[in-house]
Structure 1
Amino acid sequence: MNENPLDLIRYHHHAQLEDATLLLAFSGWMDGGDVSTGTVRRLVTVLNATPLAEIDPDPFYIQNVPGPMEIAALFRPHIEYEDGLIKQIQMPENQFSVDVTSNLVLFVGKEPHMRWRTFRDCLFAVCAELGIKKILFVGSFGGGVPHTREPRLHVSCSHADMLPAMEKYGVHRTTYSGPGSFVSYLLSQADTADLRMTSLVAEIPGYLTGANPASILAVTRRLATILGISPNLDELRGASTEWEMQVSTAVEQDGELAENVRQLEEEYDNQLLLQDEET
């Protein structure tokens, strides 16, 4: 099946941009704490970004696999029934929005299960159509950062000369070997489309599950600085404060977890001191 990528993109309208940035978020592999999708969705809301386009999800996702129910459940769409009627079915979506004032296109989608090359071509076609020259991905993973500290940000770039410019934002250069994501593939391909791409991945508390408003706030603030925008984050600050109080209360009620968190805090602070001494 060799579909034309242009046939898989549906535009709601076209925007005239120049040297714009595409901000990417994917659910799936690197969306711990909903920090990837939560951050970009928040920016879509506070910037009042306009729906722009979408990529047809049908060729890119597996909806079912044979085998045990617990495995098949990972792929099937989530549905909700109420009083005998179906109220919602969550099929994959890949949505672009645009904020012309910020010269920014924002994308929230689901990491494709298959046909990565075609999905890449769709993204690159949108970049060419809209005058996008830079791609910035934001992601997250559960690591050794306590919930009482700022997430660590790890950076990787498509071009070596981009790395020094990122150091002023307090990021760590990525060192990793293991299973790869679609974003890593995209990084390896950016130069073929004359694009420059940066991946920022936040290391957040690995001992917590569910959405992490504090990490979303921290990453959103850092992104705002990098992108030169000033979004209103008052609502997110309130949600973050409430979440932190709830988590801290729960942690203190679990003696073993509380001790583990204190150890993580000590390791985190010692690493900062070491970095200060080195600089």
Structure 2
Amino acid sequence: MKAGPILDRRGRRDVRFPDIEPNAEILPMNVITGNVLVVAFEGWNDAGDAASGALRLVKDAGEYVPLFAVDAEQYYDFQYTRPLLSIGEDGRRSLSWPGTQIFGPAETSVDAESALYLMIGTEPSRSWKSFAAEVVDAMLAIDISAVVFLGAMLADVPHTRPISIFASSENGELRNSFELERSSYEGPVGILSVIGEAAQKVGIPAVSIWASVPHYVHNAPSPKAMLALLEKLEEVVGLAIPRGDLVEEAEEWERGIDALAADDEEMAAYIAQLEQARDTVDSPEASGEAIAQEFERYLRRRGDGRSGEEPWRP
């Protein structure tokens, strides 16, 4: 992997979004330079499919081609993560198997300073150490300078407020540049943490971006959380990402929950309590530690064995 700084002024990132041009006004003064890999996995780390959904939106909006795929037979238990059967427009049936792929730009420019790569997959069922080692080997092969993990958690947050984002890094330079936290969480983790540790051991720094999904509306999709993840991702990678219909979908999602709450007094009262708690956290007197603590409480609940498909009640 090439040596060099991981932060730089606004560089040109080699990703083509045919329908939109990058808007320099929304980009930060510092961005991660070099090739960046953005990672999202379906499963334990992906409440409301927000992380995987956000990254698929990036892939579909850009011009990407598959570069690398893990051996699904080696890492997945198909009784636990089953293949999906679909029927095409021509009436033919086909199977889609769980797996993990890395995608890269279809073309690279000679004058490009960096490129954005994507890794999308399903959390593996076994052999996590070998899986992480294989992923890190792929990172080194395409000269990745930094990795950004996207995740989503069920949390005690109201749908009526902006989605809480918790961003952290073990790298001091990245924390200082982007005003990130350093997570103090101890407990069970998902595959993102395993890959992050393996990458760190070979000198590839990581940023983790997590969105808080209201636990009482945990069913996928969660467009408002997807939108929040994309906005934070833009800050880190320095690229304006096209939204498509996501803004309208997020507004419709919120209106739909408002309508449900209007017919349920208990739900409305509970949301009001969450709103009050959130407004307290957002007050000028509160620090970023409050969001970090909520993030850690979520992971501890997951460690207690509660399913990510089940809402958590106080």
Match of 2:99 among 93, 101, 110: 93
The Cα of 1:119 is off from its aligned counterpart by 1.1
Match of 2:59 among 44, 47, 51: 44
SS at 2:283's partner residue?
helix
Q: Structure 1 151/175 Cα, relative in aligned 2: closer, same or farther at 3 Å?
A: farther
Provide the residue aligned with 2:228 in structure 1.
Answer: 218
1:141 lines up with 2:156 in the alignment: no
Question: Residue by residue, what CA displacement relative to the aligned partner does 1:73-118 show, whole Å, maximum 9, x if unpaired?
Answer: x443343589xx9834331121222235661001100111111122
Match of 2:188 among 179, 186, 189: 179
Q: Structure 1 251/21 Cα, relative in aligned 2: closer, same or farther at 3 Å?
A: same
Provide the residue aligned with 1:53 in structure 2.
Answer: 68
Q: Structure 1 275/166 Cα, relative in aligned 2: closer, same or farther at 3 Å?
A: farther
Match of 1:77 among 75, 80, 83: 83
Name structure 1 gaps, 5 residues minimum. 1-17, 65-73
CA contact (8 A) 1:213 1:240 kept: yes
Question: Residue by residue, what CA displacement relative to the aligned partner does 1:144-195 show, whole Å, maximum 9, x if unpaired?
Answer: 111111222223323344323332xxx6543433321111122222232121
Provide the residue aligned with 1:70 in structure 2.
Answer: none
Match of 2:135 among 108, 111, 123: 123
Q: Structure 1 78/234 Cα, relative in aligned 2: closer, same or farther at 3 Å?
A: closer
Name structure 2 gaps, 5 residues minimum. 1-32, 289-314
CA contact (8 A) 1:22 1:105 kept: yes
- What amino acid is aligned across from residue 87 of structure 1 in structure 2? R
CA contact (8 A) 2:210 2:229 kept: no
Question: Residue by residue, what CA displacement relative to the aligned partner does 1:61-83 show, whole Å, maximum 9, x if unpaired?
Answer: 1122xxxxxxxxx443343589x
TM-score, with normalisation over the residues of structure 2?
A: 0.72
Provide the residue aligned with 1:261 in structure 2.
Answer: 271
**Aligned residue-pair number:** 248
CA distance in 1, matches of 2:204, 2:182: 20
SS at 1:273's partner residue?
coil
Q: Structure 1 140/22 Cα, relative in aligned 2: closer, same or farther at 3 Å?
A: same
CA contact (8 A) 1:158 1:190 kept: no
- What amino acid is aligned across from residue 125 of structure 1 in structure 2? D
Provide the residue aligned with 2:21 in structure 1.
Answer: none
The Cα of 1:276 is off from its aligned counterpart by 5.7
CA distance in 2, matches of 1:204, 1:277: 20
- What amino acid is aligned across from residue 190 of structure 1 in structure 2? A
SS at 1:45's partner residue?
helix
- What amino acid is aligned across from residue 135 of structure 1 in structure 2? V
Greater CA drift, 244-253 or 43-52: 43-52
The Cα of 1:225 is off from its aligned counterpart by 2.0
CA contact (8 A) 1:141 1:203 kept: yes
Q: RMSD across aligned C-alpha pairs, in angstroms? A: 2.5
CA contact (8 A) 1:32 1:141 kept: yes
TM-score, with normalisation over the residues of structure 1?
A: 0.80
CA distance in 2, matches of 1:205, 1:149: 10
